[in-house]
A and B are shown apart, each in its own frame.
Chain A
């Protein structure tokens, strides 16, 4: 038999038909929707089309949901209210399963999918959101699509796609204390650039990746899109199976046994060949902080802001100058001396229970000196955190414990930075204006965000925890 990669093992089992030139009609096993999918439902209505397999689509509101109040009627913004409630009608009309606002299962789509066992190994999954790459952490093919493609998936349960090339990124070594999946992916993007993965499906391999928890792997795959690639994957192993077993939509009993034996057959064969390979030294990764308006502009917290003058590529140099100007940073400034105005802990990147635990470990018994907002990834994460007393640690530290949603990651619900304000944020994008007009975002891990909240600057969490 021909040797195949994890990606090929799954892709080849989902191709319904192929056109000349290589585009494939790919079957989609599961599809996730959110409140921002109103455009796609609108397109279905415009054309008078139905959802072909409603039982394979699941929905949860996240982008526009308020995090302050559990009562949607409190949302003062009429349009946000309209969008937040449209999902109820759309799901009812089209027969789609909804985890509605107020339900414990509601949350950010990329937290909810794995949490509910909707995401399992070996499947194809789509969602109208670029961070759909997240789900590949469980060993499936999962990618973000645009609204027209969402409407197409709903109407046909399939999508036309060019087969991506394959890339393997091997991270060997042992991650140091205070170094998380977030630091690993930022280090990778820094190395291969924000366009380095474009056109590829990435498989993450190596001992440092194997050693990551499922939460860490979800964070890693989440930010794959920030390297330009829509698909990030980790081969399913015991960590994966332990995570999936017993979840509401995961197979049970005999079906579970059958699924497991299939999932065990998925990992990349030893002889399989990737189109591109990269290696990253896991031992050398330090807690990372981004300093520009692309996740590729990042450095270890122990570094200083680089000098554009030392960049040879003219276009890159001018981009660095303009990004530093926007971020109001001077070359040579130690990163640890940059002051922050607000801290955000949340988003589909870092709002799972382990993320909250690592932030709480830093916040415990300390006081935040800057305004800090924490939004758990789902109602169930919130419940779990409260059962463990994490909410108490945060509120005792003077931090705000909010309701689940995308919140300040993109600010569509009104959780925003003021113009010129600087954040330490556990989200995934530091683009200009992402957290509000004129906002300045630095991406960090949850423990580094908590450390910034405690000290008001980007403090090396390894040092803070030593003292």
Chain B
């Protein structure tokens, strides 16, 4: 995973409530490999059929930061939604709330998910509409976002998620550091719930 420390990029305002992962990448593209050369074109594929859709317009199409509305990334667990963001170089998403699975998927692939108050998200999207090409900046260490107008917002992130993102760590390595605890736990668990490990 690519480490995330600081980042600055053009903001793309997405004014859709409950923008589900089917909108982010339609199911028919999930059959493609993660590294498919066309992956970038799958992002918001069907929404982009409307020429007025924001990502079709310059300079938003060079955007690297998404500012969304309530319940961004709800629905299907498809990790393809993050592969499509990755393929477009999107490194951060700001929203009032996220689908829980998508939130975790973002963390796994170096896309920083930032929860801000709905009013703040609304305000940021307005600025991005009014000033196309305006940039949003992130500093993960200090857990802050800076909007186009210079206003700073603090955000919360789980300390362990932050640690893994800052260092670009894959969970696997961290988990294997716990092998001793795992073995002890499993031995006890198997003894207590032996019916789960029966003859079947």
**Contact in complex: B108, A146 (CB < 8 Å):** yes
Alpha-carbon gap, A83 to B30, bound state (A): 11
A387-421 interface bits toward B, Cβ cutoff 8 Å, 1 = contact, 0 = none: 00000000000000000000000111000000000
Chain A residues positioned under 8 Å from B101 (CB to CB) = 130, 144-146, 230
What is the interface residue range for chain B against chain A?
A: 35 or more
Known A39-B34, A410-B27; contact A145-B77, beta-carbon cutoff 8 A: yes
Chain A residue at smallest Cβ distance from B28: A412
**Contact in complex: A128, B77 (CB < 8 Å):** yes
Chain B residues positioned under 8 Å from A294 (CB to CB) = 17-18, 20
B165-189 interface bits toward A, Cβ cutoff 8 Å, 1 = contact, 0 = none: 0000001101110100110011001
B18, B77, B172: which contacts A156 (Cβ < 8 A)? B172
Chain A residue at smallest Cβ distance from B82: A146
Chain A residues positioned under 8 Å from B104 (CB to CB) = 145-146, 149
**Contact in complex: B22, A255 (CB < 8 Å):** no
Alpha-carbon gap, A258 to B78, bound state (A): 38
Is B130 at the interface (CB under 8 A from chain A)?
Answer: no
Chain B residues positioned under 8 Å from A29 (CB to CB) = 193, 196
Among B66-74, B85-93, B138-146, the stretch in contact with A: B66-74
A20, A79, A148: which contacts B109 (Cβ < 8 A)? A148
Question: How many of chain A's residues have a CB under 8 angstroms from any CB in B?
Answer: 78
How distant is B170 from chain A, measured CB to nearest CB, in Å? 8
How distant is A373 from chain B, measured CB to nearest CB, in Å? 17
Is B62 at the interface (CB under 8 A from chain A)?
Answer: no
**Contact in complex: A431, B22 (CB < 8 Å):** yes
**Contact in complex: A429, B75 (CB < 8 Å):** yes
Is B100 at the interface (CB under 8 A from chain A)?
Answer: yes
**Contact in complex: B159, A198 (CB < 8 Å):** no
Is A76 at the interface (CB under 8 A from chain B)?
Answer: no
Known A17-B178, A412-B27; contact A199-B108, beta-carbon cutoff 8 A: no
Alpha-carbon gap, A194 to B70, bound state (A): 10
A156, A164, A198: which contacts B71 (Cβ < 8 A)? A198
Known A19-B160, A433-B22; contact A130-B108, beta-carbon cutoff 8 A: no
CB neighbors of A among B105-147 (8 A): 105, 108-109, 122
Chain B residue at smallest Cβ distance from A36: B30
Chain A residues positioned under 8 Å from B22 (CB to CB) = 429, 431-434
